[in-house]
Amino acid sequence: MKKQKAKLRKRVIIAAVFAGILVLIAVFSGVLAPNDPYATNSELIRQAPSAQFLFGTDNLGRCVLSRVLIGARTTIASTFFLVAISFIIGMIVGMLCGFYGGIVDDILMRIADLMLAFPQMVVAIAVAGILGGGLGGAMIALGITMWTSFARLARSHTLSIKNEPYITAARLQGKNGLQIMMTHIMPNILEPVLINALTQIGTTMIGISGLSFLGLGVVAPQAEWGSMISEARAYIQIAPWAVLFPAAATVITIIVFNYLGDAVMEYRKAE
């Protein structure tokens, strides 16, 4: 059992190191990028990977490596931001529903059911379409359904602890609902919901890149992996590297964050 736990902890550490590296790359992408990711050059279009352009150039002669690096910032930052906002909204809604129950619970949970009744991507495409292009629109579109999973989880955990004697004890101390939620419920349900947030990062990244790929997210010329793939797929046969590298970056990042989420979840389960 101890051996297994040590093994699981090792997995968590490895995944966390990789995820950390990716985040660092995103943060320092401005420094790391060898060329200006937005500088076009008609003489350097669709150059194959070389010493000067490690990942080659795209249809407008822009450095693919620099764009992939800058794109990491857009993709990872927007994903983290979206997951964080959904997490906060979900936590608040879930705790309110679980703690107060009654009509508050009924109304908020029916809204959540309504959101869940449609496939997430379909709702996101529809909402992003209505809101028009742009990263903000794409994030709202995905966020509309995303908070529900956090809310449901937070609610069920709140329900499971709200009748614990220490909550009763807090009531006896004269604490009001808000104080009880902040000091007793939130800290005790934070962990499972946070782990859920970790596992959602991969899916969210697919969502944001997917919407950008469809032209409903990031607008040109901003570098973002989904939109880069979308732009370059028109000439995939001539310059496959322009598709390959942002696609590989997307796949690797999603795998790393999914792996991290799973590893943490399994580790906590073993505990």
Q: Report the length, in residues, of the chain.
A: 271
Least Å distance between CB 179 and other proteins? Answer: 10
Residue of 12, 15, 8, 13 lying closest to 254 (CA atoms): 15
Quote the least distance from Cβ 164 to other proteins, whole Å: 6
Distance (Å, rounded) from C-alpha 82 to C-alpha 63? Answer: 28
Judged by the rule CB under 8 A, the positions of this chain that interact with other proteins are: 164-166, 168-175, 183-184, 187-188
Residue 250 phi, psi dihedral angles, 5° rounding: -60, -50
Least separation in angstroms between residue 72's CB and other proteins is 35
Residue with Cβ nearer other proteins (181 or 214): 181
Comparing CB distances to other proteins, the nearer of 31 and 165 is 165
Cβ-based nearer residue to other proteins, 3 or 269: 269
User: Of the two residues 41 and 188, which places its CB atom closer to other proteins in the complex?
Assistant: 188
Provide the sign of the torsion angle of the four alpha carbons 202, 203, 206, 211, taken in this order: negative
DSSP string computed for 55-110? T-B-TTS-BHHHHHHHHHHHHHHHHHHHHHHHHHHHHHHHHHHHHH-HHHHHHHHH
Q: CB of residue 259 vs other proteins: minimum separation in angstroms? A: 28
CB atoms within 10 A of CB 256: 21
**Residue whose CB is less far from other proteins, 173 or 237:** 173
Q: State which residue, 77 or 161, has the beta carbon closest to other proteins.
A: 161
Task: Compare residues 157 and 184 and give the one whose CB is closer to other proteins.
Answer: 184
The pair of structure tokens assigned to 246 is 């942002």
Please report how close the Cβ of residue 100 comes to other proteins at its closest, in angstroms. Answer: 14
DSSP 8-state secondary structure symbol assigned to residue 48: P
To other proteins, the closest distance from the beta carbon of 182 in angstroms equals 12
CB of 193 vs other proteins, minimal distance in Å: 15
Structure tokens at 142: 């995905």
Residue type, 39: A
d(Cα 25, Cα 36) in Å, to the nearest integer?
A: 16
The residues pairing with 63 across neighbouring beta strands, listed in sequence order, are 57
